[in-house]
Amino acid sequence: MSLDHSTRGKQSLPFKPMTLGEYPDVPLSGATLYSLAEQFGNDGALDYTTANGNRVICQDTTHTASMKRTHICFSGNNNTVHLGKLSGICRLDIACIGGSTVTIGTIDIVRGATIMAAHQAEIAIGSRCMISRDVMIYASGAHGIYNSADGSRRGSATIHIGDRVWLGQGVRVLSGAKVGPNSVIGSYSVLAGKIPNNCAAAGNPCRVTSRDIFWTKESVAGNYFLHLEKSGKPTPPFAKLTEMP
């Protein structure tokens, strides 16, 4: 969908001063995704850019309840939030600061999450993930850690979470984290490293506890493959073995 540039001069209307509960010291300008779509949406989608280059894209704005529970917040210029289709959201707060980007695919379930990308950070979350309550995903390039031998910068201000990842309650995902598709991160884990596909991982620091697993939204007693066979259903594409790095 093309951007209606006539809306660029009205960027102050939907955004109001606000702070997020986890970051009371960070002044932001925020609005619900619903209010943005109401004012600037078109044909069931949203592509809106403010006068200072902050852009919000949502490919499907038809799920009103989830949009009302999604807050988009900015500080500074040239930030981007790009969302796919939303549903099943109880609370989702997204903040971009200082030229940062947050990209999320199709959203199925978010019980309660805060996502913040600051100082040219990038956060990418795949489609059909399941995010539990009290989850925080935070990437920032504000401070640097450097190698004492050669001065090279260590760490990365990026986070990448693949498709169909389940983040348990209280999980913290930090700069440098990378999670392969179909994996599960256990409750209250702190993750800043790499987790392969189809793994269960937990702890602080978060480490792989099981490989060659998959998860489903519905619980089935006994063998899942036998359940599928009795139901005449094929093996799902997400039932994969873990690929060793």
Encode 74-89: b = buried (16+ Cβ within 10 Å), e = exposed.
Answer: bbbebbbbbbbbbeeb
Q: Is 68 within the bounds of a domain?
A: yes
Q: Is 240 within the bounds of a domain?
A: no
Q: Is 238 within the bounds of a domain?
A: no
The total number of residues shown for the chain amounts to 245
Check 63, 143, 160, 227 and give the catalytic one.
143
143 is catalytic: yes
- pLDDT score, position 13: 66
Q: Is 187 within the bounds of a domain?
A: yes
Q: Is 36 within the bounds of a domain?
A: yes
Domain of residue 206, CATH code: 2.160.10.10
Domain tally, the chain: 1
Q: Is 169 within the bounds of a domain?
A: yes
Q: Is 181 within the bounds of a domain?
A: yes
Q: Is 62 within the bounds of a domain?
A: yes
- pTM recorded for the entire structure: 0.91
Q: Please answer whether residues 140 and 122 qualify as being in contact, where contact means their C-beta atoms are separated by less than 8 angstroms.
A: no
Q: Kindly list the averaged pLDDT for each block of 10 residues, start to end, along the chain of length 245.
A: 39 80 93 95 94 96 95 98 97 98 97 97 98 97 81 84 99 98 99 98 98 94 94 96 89
- pLDDT score, position 9: 43
Residue 183's domain comprises 32-217
